[in-house]
Structures are given as structure tokens and as C-alpha cells.
Structure 1
Amino acid sequence: MLIFMVRRFGTMALTMLVVSILVFLLLEINVESVATKVLGPYTSQEQRELWLERNGYTDPAIWRYLRWLGNFVVGDFGDSVRFKVPVSDVLWPRLANTAILGGIALFIASIIGLTLGVIAGMREGGARDRGVSVGAVLTTSVPEFASAVFLSGLLVFTWPVLPGTSGMADGFDLVQLVLPVMVLVIYDWGYVARMTRASMAEVMMTHYIRTAVLKGLPYGQVIRKHALRNALIAPFTVIMLQINWLLSGVIVVEVAFAYKGFGSLLYEASLNSDIYLIEACAMVAVFVAVMTQTLADIGYTYLNPRIRFS
């Protein structure tokens, strides 16, 4: 088990290293472009050359990369062109805000998806199975911006029971999270439900489940003690993948409801060509992606003992 974990974390570190090289080559290798983005397009060539020399951009590319990578490791991402403050001062609060929004949405979507998926998979082809499957397909077919507009029109304008924005201008307000969470849950629960339903239906057809039922064991006990554990392996993968989507895929939702999170920060950085902020957001997003996959692989060993000893 220890060797397995070391290998997984080693793979994660190698992946981060490769991604860092790609990010550096895409955004930092052209020093003239960096100077133009930081100083603005209306600065003179002399001003840009002085800035490049003062900030070490005249050094060889390999030394610049190593210095850039070292700064990232210690959390020094540079100064934001858009906000005129260190990137870390903006990045971490916004990341925390998205963690709150995404965590609530993921928890609710997972509970709904797992519950309905298990109910549907227990009786494959039945009325409940068809109802859950149709509902999951319909909700996952509607993009977030469409459901955001529909829910806003319904609950903000037609029946004004919820605020239309989630800017948190007067401090944290749980009510302002209702609409963004609803949009994310509506779009997300279907993926978990469909994967759970397929996995549960497959488990219910296995010989050991049929044998347990034929032996007269209570049906609820068969589901809880024998079927669920194996059926949760595939949904566990989907849920871990949703963390990556929630981190960077909430851009539409955060922009639609003016929520100050990681997604809207990345959107603002892209609009303003904030190169250091874009680099930091890219590296953080990739780190979360590889970390969740590493944790998912480790989690498999607890859900399926055959993986643990293989």
C-alpha cells in the first residue's frame, strides 16, 4: 500500500512538472509579450526593455523557468496586473469561495444522485428506473446558463423569493447561494445518478447477489451489506471528477450570479490578459485535478479489496 501511494504521488509530481513546463512555454517564453501584458500596449520599447532587464527576463530561458518554478512552489505567483496586489492575496480567498459553493453543490448532488441511482438500479427496467433515467438525461442536457436564466426568471422576477445576484456585498449570506447551488445541482446530479444506476444494475445481476437473495436473506440487508460497496466504485470516480469540473466549470454560474469565486477570477484574468493570475489559476486547477485523481486511486483500494492486493 505504501509503495502504491508513493508511486501515485510520484506520478502526480511528474504531471505537475510537465504542466508547469507547458504553461511556462505558452505564457513566459515570449518576453516581449510578457512585458506588453504587464506594462500595457502603449508603453515604449525602451520602457519594456528596462522592465525586462530589471525583472530578470534577459536571463537564459532555463534559469527563468527554474526561478519561476521555485517561486510557484513557495507560493509567490507575482503581482496581478488587474488588481495591483500580489496574486496570492486574490487567489486564495476566491478559491475558498468556490470551495464553499462547489462543496455544497457536490454534497447535495451526490446525495440525490446516489440515492436515485441505487433506487433505479435495484429494479432495472422498472418504472422507477425509467423515471430516474429520463430525469437525469433531461437535466444534464440543459446547460448551466439556460437553467440560470430560467431559475432567475422564475424565482427572482416572477416570484421574487430569492436574490438575483450572489455578490456577498454585505458579508456571507447563505440565501445568496441558493440559486447558484440549484443550477449546479440540477446539472450535476444526473451524471452521478446514471453512473450509480448502471453500476448498481450490474452488481444486482452478479451470482453472489442472486445467491444471497435465494438463500432468503432480507432484501434490504443484501443491498446494504453486499451490493452497495461494489456498486459505489464507479460513482466514486464520477464524484471525484466533478471536483475538477466544479473548480473551473463554474465560470458560467459564477459570472451569471456575480459570485466572487475562482471561476469568475479566471474569467476576469482572461479578459484583462493578467498573465501572472492566469498562470496561477492554471497551475492550481491542474494541481486539484491530479490530486483528486490520486485520491480517487487510493480510495479504490478501500472500496475494492481486490485492487488493494493486486
Structure 2
Amino acid sequence: MLSVLHFLSRKIAIAIATMIAVSFLIFIALEVNVEDVAVKVLGQYSTAEQRTAWLFANGYDDPFLIRYLRWLADFACGNWGMSTYFRAPVIEMILPRLAASAMLAGGALLVIIVFGLGLGVLAGMRSGSVLDRVISVVSVITTSIPDFASAVFLSAIFVFWLGWLPGASTMISGFSLKEMILPVSVLGLYSMGYLARVTRASMVDVMSTHYIRTARLKGASMTRIVLHHALRNALITPVTVIMLQLPWLLSGVIVVEVFYAYKGFGTLLYDAALNQDIYLIEACAMISVLVVVVSQILSDLIYGWLNPRISLGGH
């Protein structure tokens, strides 16, 4: 228990240091030139007097470090400013959009885990068989196709050719499972194939170990061998890969959400960048960093649980 607490304290300290370092870079990139900030907030047709008055009223005449520390404190307290494009509090815009993207990423993660792990375990159990070769070929094909190409390909088949699914996922009339199918499939395809390949390689290694051979010699069934002996050790690498997919899903949803007009975190970040919405970009960037560091901590915790021989306190 003490080792876990020590591990968590170290990881949280590293996460906080990482977020502070990244936040400083974000602030430098977006707010080092105060004149640009004034133009982005007030518009390019604002006068020099208006910009000067706005900068003074909002504390931009203070030293850079003071402004950064004030911005960081405001962000930690949930004061993320007003969107210069949408004219609404940033935090009120981000939270519902983040929930929408979490739902989309959760569906994709379910597809990735169920099919990626399942196909990988089946291929690893029967290494060299026809099933193994078929799964390997399918996995290579899916991982070779980028998101935008998968979106075009699936839309061409299921929207324009067969007419089974809608081409947009706007959710205008409320939640629609039918509108979720295509974006979830596009997000899941790439990582599903990659996870299947990683799981297959891990499963093959475990199935060739001495304790698995001993279990076979004792007459244990393949199902018992896999479920009680091989699976836990074989899942160490795949679970780490799954946790590393969380940051990728957050960035991957940008392409998919924009393509399918899905109102989530990705389209919000896209609109913010397109319209130079400085405070919205800053908040979205910080949320992205937070997702990355939290997923890393969870990944290490799950890795330590699956492999007790590794001391969390020793990381």
C-alpha cells in the first residue's frame, strides 16, 4: 500500500511538473505578443486606442511572468476566460463537448478492446494457422489506412452506396446510435488492428513458455490454459497499448468529428484554431495535456497490477 501511495505521489508530481512546463510553452506561443492578443480578441478592425485600453484593463501591461502565473492560477480555479469567437465562457463550452467526445472515444475504445484483444488472442493461440494469417492480414490492412481515408471509404459504402447509415452525426434530434456507428467504426479500425497484432505477438510469447508447456503435458484444456495461465501475462503489453490509445483518440477524434460534423471536443478545437480563439485554444490544449498525463498514470497502475513482480515504488 505504501509503495502504491509513493508511486502515485511521484507520478502526480511529475504530471504537475509536465503540465506546468507545457502550459508555459502554450502561454509563450499564444500570448508573448500582446498586440496579437488584442487583435485576436477585439478584431483586426479595432483601433490602436481600443487595443491599448483593452490591454491595460486586462493586465497586459504587467511583466510576462506575472501574467503567466495569473493565467495559470485562473485556469486551476476554473476561470478559463471568454471565447472571443463564440462569446461564451470557455469552461461552459468545453465540458459538454468533452463529454460528447468521451462518449465517442468510449465507443471506439470498446470496439478496440473487444475486437483487438479477441482477434489477437485467437491468432496467438493458433500461431501459424490459416486463422492466424487471415487475422494478421486484416490487422495490417486496417493499420495501414489513415482515419480520413477510412471515413471516406466507409461513407462511400454505407452512406452513398447502400444507404444504410447517415452521412453526418450532428445529433440534432438528440442521441442517435445510428449516427454513432460510422465515427466509432472509423476510430476503432486503426487501433483495433494494431492492438490485435500486439496481442498476438504477446500471446505467442506466453504460449511458448515452460509453465504453459507443463500445463499442456498435464492434460489441461486449451480454454483453461488460456484463461487461467496465459491471458493475464499476455495482457501486460496490450493493456499498456490500450492506455496509450487515449491520447491518440483525443487527437484522432478531431479528424473524425470534423468529417462527420460531430459536435465534440475535436470540432471545438478545430473551430477555435480556425477562428484564432486564443482563450479557447489555451484551454483545449491544457485539457489535452491533462488527458495524456492521467492516461500515463493509469497505464502504470494497471501494468503494476497485471505484473506484481514489478514494484510500483521502484518506477
TM-score (ref. length: structure 2) = 0.96
Count, aligned residues: 310
Alignment of 1:100-139 (within 5 A): 100-139=103-142
Alignment of 1:2-17 (within 5 A): 2-17=5-20
Deviation for aligned residue 1:219 = 2.1
Unaligned 5+ segments in structure 2 are none
Partner of 1:143: 146
8 A contact 1:248–1:262 mirrored in 2: no
Unaligned 5+ segments in structure 1 are none
8 A contact 1:98–1:263 mirrored in 2: yes
Q: Which amino acid aligns with 1:175?
A: K
Deviation for aligned residue 1:16 = 0.9
8 A contact 2:147–2:252 mirrored in 1: no
Deviation for aligned residue 1:241 = 1.1
Partner of 1:48: 51
Q: Distance in 2 between matches of 1:249 and 1:308?
A: 33
Of stretches 121-130 and 274-283 in structure 1, the one that deviates more from structure 2 is 121-130
Partner of 1:209: 212
8 A contact 2:107–2:184 mirrored in 1: yes
Of stretches 240-249 and 285-294 in structure 1, the one that deviates more from structure 2 is 240-249
Q: Distance in 1 between matches of 2:262 and 2:280?
A: 18
Deviation for aligned residue 1:215 = 2.3
Alignment of 1:1-310 (within 5 A): 1-308=4-311
8 A contact 2:98–2:264 mirrored in 1: yes
Residues 119-164 of structure 1 show CA distances to partners (whole Å, capped at 9, x for unaligned) of 1111222212111111001011111112211222221222212111
Q: Distance in 1 between matches of 2:303 and 2:156?
A: 43
SS state at 2:309 partner: helix
Q: Which amino acid aligns with 1:111?
A: V
Deviation for aligned residue 1:60 = 1.0
Residues 194-244 of structure 1 show CA distances to partners (whole Å, capped at 9, x for unaligned) of 111111111111122112212222221111111100110111111111111
Deviation for aligned residue 1:250 = 1.3
Q: Which amino acid aligns with 2:57?
A: R
Q: Distance in 2 between matches of 1:152 and 1:298?
A: 39
Q: Distance in 1 between matches of 2:161 and 2:5?
A: 57
Q: Which amino acid aligns with 1:297?
A: D
SS state at 1:190 partner: helix
Residues 17-41 of structure 1 show CA distances to partners (whole Å, capped at 9, x for unaligned) of 1111111111112111111111111
Q: Distance in 2 between matches of 1:66 and 1:144?
A: 38
Q: Which amino acid aligns with 2:101?
A: T
Of stretches 288-297 and 216-225 in structure 1, the one that deviates more from structure 2 is 216-225
Residues 106-128 of structure 1 show CA distances to partners (whole Å, capped at 9, x for unaligned) of 11121000000001111222212
Q: Distance in 1 between matches of 2:311 and 2:127?
A: 30
* Moved segments of 4+, more than 6 Å: none
